């Protein structure tokens, strides 16, 4: 572990705050609230993941803050439509600019063309980001426990729910899993990747699954590349897998989604 990796999470959160301040200066929060109210109702993210077998949340992202560019030809809408053709249950769209090359506009453009539930994936710490998510067409919002105080986690889960969206609450250890359950999360994601070091622990879902009660949707995140790995996660109790890098690097992303989603159907 070095200084660069131990500070990575803090840096990503600072960048998200700065991005939010820039966007707030351009579009007031009251305008986002109006846009959200005028839009169609959110799609049911949880119901999409409760379909029989293992559901795939396929991710659209340009790059990784550690591994760099994931594709030489980044076309968010085309990639989203390929995932939809492959049978993805939902999509995750990175909107973090500096770390992942994302933008809220990517999600808005995908919403115009794609029928699947959409997750806004970012480091959400501000009410503005939640209202913006609904205004651009998101149906769910990622909340990372390690980036939030316990009080703030509860507040944001409440705000997300009040707008009809789902909070996918991301955890990386037993303490965070217990905090997510206590805060009332209906969907909990176990991130195999440590956001402070970017190392992967593929056994983490199996270890934390007993802490996540059956009425909650359990999503295994990061590091999944093969149908065999997906099958092991299903056996460990996962209802869904969230996959980004492997799909972004795939020559035929629709085929890979189909292979991963074919587990236990």
Write a three-state SS string for the chain. CCHHHHCHHHHHHHHHHHHHHHHHHHCCHHHHHHHHHHCCCCCCHHHHHCCCCCEEEEEECCEECCCEECCCCCCHHHHHHHHHHHCCCEEEEECCHHHHCCCHHHHHHHHHHCCCCEEEECCCCCHHHHHHHHHCCCCEEEEEHHHCCHHHHHHHHHHHHHCCCEEEEEECCHHHHHHHHHCCCCEEEEECECCCCCCECCCHHHHHHHHCCCCCEEEEECCCCCHHHHHHHHHCCCCEEEECHHHHHCCCHHHHHHHHHCCCC
pLDDT of residue 4: 41
More confident residue, 66 or 119: 119
Residues carrying an active site annotation = 59, 61, 121, 170, 191, 221-222
Residue 189: C-alpha distances to residues 78, 157, 168 (Å): 26, 14, 6
Please give the average per-residue pLDDT across 5-24, as a whole number. Answer: 88
Contact 177, 183 (CB under 8 A): no
Domains and CATH numbers, the chain: 3-261 (3.20.20.70)
User: Residue 53 — pLDDT band, cuts 50, 70, 90?
Assistant: confident
**pLDDT greater than 90 at residue 193:** no
pLDDT of residue 263: 64
Please give the average per-residue pLDDT across 55-68, as a whole number. Answer: 90
pLDDT of residue 30: 96
How far is Cα 149 from Cα 197, in angstroms, rounded to an integer?
Answer: 20
Q: Roughly what angle, to the nearest 10 degrees, separates helices 8-26 and 127-135?
A: 60
User: Residue 5 — pLDDT band, cuts 50, 70, 90?
Assistant: very low
**pLDDT greater than 60 at residue 227:** yes
User: Residue 2 — pLDDT band, cuts 50, 70, 90?
Assistant: very low
Global pTM exceeds 0.85: yes
Could you read off the pLDDT of 36-48 as tens digits, one per residue?
Answer: 999 899 999 999 9
Average pLDDT, whole number, for the chain?
92
How far is Cα 121 from Cα 129, in angstroms, rounded to an integer?
Answer: 11
Please give the average per-residue pLDDT across 98-109, as a whole number. Answer: 94
CA 64 to chain centre: 14
């Amino acid at each position: 572990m070095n200084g660069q990796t131990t500070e990575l999470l803090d840096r990503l959160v600072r960048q998200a705050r700065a991005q939010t301040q820039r966007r707030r200066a351009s579009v007031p929060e009251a305008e986002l609230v109006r846009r959200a109210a005028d839009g169609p109702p959110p799609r049911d993210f949880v119901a999409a993941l409760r379909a029989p077998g293992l559901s795939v949340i396929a991710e659209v992202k340009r790059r990784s803050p550690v591994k760099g560019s994931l594709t030489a030809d980044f076309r968010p809408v085309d990639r989203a439509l390929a995932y939809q053709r492959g049978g993805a249950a939902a999509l995750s769209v990175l909107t973090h600019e500096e770390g992942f090359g994302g933008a809220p506009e990517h999600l808005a453009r995908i919403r115009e063309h794609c029928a699947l539930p959409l997750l806004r994936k970012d480091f959400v710490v501000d009410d503005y980001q939640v209202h913006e998510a609904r205004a651009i067409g998101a149906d769910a919002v990622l909340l990372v426990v390690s980036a939030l105080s316990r009080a703030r986690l509860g507040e944001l889960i409440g705000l997300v729910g009040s707008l009809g969206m789902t909070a996918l609450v991301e955890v990386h250890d037993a303490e965070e899993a217990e905090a997510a359950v206590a805060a009332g999360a209906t969907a909990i994601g176990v991130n195999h990747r440590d956001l402070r070091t970017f190392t992967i622990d593929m056994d983490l879902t199996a270890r934390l699954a007993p802490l996540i009660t059956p009425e909650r949707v359990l999503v295994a995140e990061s590091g999944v590349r093969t149908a065999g790995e997906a099958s092991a996660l299903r056996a460990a109790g996962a209802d869904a897998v969230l996959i980004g890098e492997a799909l972004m690097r795939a020559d035929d992303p629709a085929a890979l989604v189909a292979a991963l989603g074919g587990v236990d159907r």
